[in-house]
């Protein structure tokens, strides 16, 4: 379940960002300060995890922070805490940094990503297991522009998000490059966003890795009200439970 929850956290991050697109698209200075509260559950009703996503503007930077953790019931079998945060330059739309933290009972992983330019990122990974610490440094280069989940949000805020158009972007998630394909469709009177994530290797899609796919349903206010992720154990739903938005006039 570790891989599934880690990737779902990314999709929550992205879809929660897109929710503000229609109201603020085209002018990044009006990015809102907000808090969004989510609940993950199996279709049988068992709550798997909860999460809080926050966004706030600091001068010329926009910072976002997501914290998620499994519930007490799930902790009896599998305990996981995740924390992701990072910042984006509002003027250039470029990612500045991003940190991924994953904690399990007997091990943890911290990934710090510094984006040097649109094609290069420095990744520093620290793994801890049984009191042993392992550090790794890697430079990621890509022929096309690379994004963080946060800068992908700001990009769509600036350019807009068109229905029935397929977008392909490359995102550095944790310590790997992924190709993210996004398309929005109309379904049952609501907008349905389909997103697929492909892990890359040597410049190509890694065929040995499973394609991750999440569906999201957006209401008339352009807020994602539900997301679904299917995997071997079933389907996990993520529902937006509470949303607080604070905008500032400039």
- pLDDT at residue 128 greater than cutoff 90: yes
Look up residue 48 and give its two tokens: 């798997």
pLDDT of residue 182: 80
**% of the chain beyond a pLDDT of 70:** 75
Where in the sequence is the domain holding 104, given as residue range(s)? 2-246
Nearest to 99 by CA among 115, 110, 88, 108: 110
- pLDDT at residue 209 greater than cutoff 90: no
Mean pLDDT confidence for 216-235: 70
- pLDDT at residue 109 greater than cutoff 50: yes
Q: How far apart are CA 177 and CA 37, in angstroms?
A: 28
User: Who has greater pLDDT, 230 or 75?
Assistant: 75
Nearest to 23 by CA among 250, 247, 206: 247
pLDDT of residue 194: 77
pLDDT of residue 232: 66
pLDDT, tens digit (0-9, with 9 covering 90-100), for 72-104? 988 998 888 988 899 999 888 889 999 988 898
pLDDT of residue 240: 84
pLDDT of residue 110: 93
Hey, how many other C-beta atoms are within 10 angstroms of the C-beta on 208?
A: 7
| Domain count along the chain | 1
pLDDT of residue 189: 57
- pLDDT at residue 124 greater than cutoff 70: yes
pLDDT of residue 200: 86
Mean pLDDT confidence for 46-65: 88
Look up residue 53 and give its two tokens: 């996503």
**Crossing angle between the packed helical segments 2-18 and 149-159, to the nearest 10 degrees:** 20
Q: Whole-number mean pLDDT of the chain? A: 78
At 130, give phi and psi (nearest 5°): 50, 45
Which DSSP letter does residue 143 get? S
Q: How far apart are CA 5 and CA 18, in angstroms?
A: 20
Compute CA distances 177 → 76, 142, 148, 206, whole Å: 33, 9, 10, 11
pLDDT, tens digit (0-9, with 9 covering 90-100), for 134-172? 999 999 999 899 988 888 877 766 666 577 778 888 988
User: Who has greater pLDDT, 189 or 69?
Assistant: 69
Q: How far apart are CA 18 and CA 2, in angstroms?
A: 25
pLDDT of residue 97: 95
What's the pTM? 0.82
């Amino acid at each position: 379940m570790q891989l599934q929850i880690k990737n779902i956290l990314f999709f929550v991050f992205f879809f929660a960002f897109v929710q503000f697109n229609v109201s603020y698209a085209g002018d990044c200075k009006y990015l809102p300060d907000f808090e969004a509260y989510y609940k993950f559950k199996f279709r049988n009703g068992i709550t798997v995890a909860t999460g809080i996503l926050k966004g706030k503007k600091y001068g010329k930077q926009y910072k976002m922070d997501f914290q998620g953790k499994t519930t007490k019931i799930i902790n009896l079998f599998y305990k996981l805490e995740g924390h992701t945060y990072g910042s984006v330059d509002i003027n250039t739309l470029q990612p500045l940094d991003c940190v991924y933290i994953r904690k399990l009972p007997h091990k943890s992983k911290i990934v710090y990503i510094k984006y040097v330019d649109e094609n290069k990122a420095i990744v520093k990974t620290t793994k801890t297991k049984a009191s042993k610490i392992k550090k790794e440094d890697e430079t990621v280069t890509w022929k096309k522009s690379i994004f963080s989940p946060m800068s992908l949000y700001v990009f769509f805020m600036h350019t807009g998000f068109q229905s029935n158009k397929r977008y392909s972007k490359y995102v550095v998630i944790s310590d790997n490059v992924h190709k993210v394909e996004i398309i929005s469709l109309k379904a049952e009177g609501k907008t349905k966003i389909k997103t697929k994530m492909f892990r890359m290797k040597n410049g190509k899609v890694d065929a040995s890795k499973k394609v991750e796919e999440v569906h999201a349903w957006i209401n008339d206010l352009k807020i994602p009200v539900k997301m679904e992720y299917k995997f071997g154990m079933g389907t996990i739903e993520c529902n937006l439970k509470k949303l607080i938005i604070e905008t500032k006039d400039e």
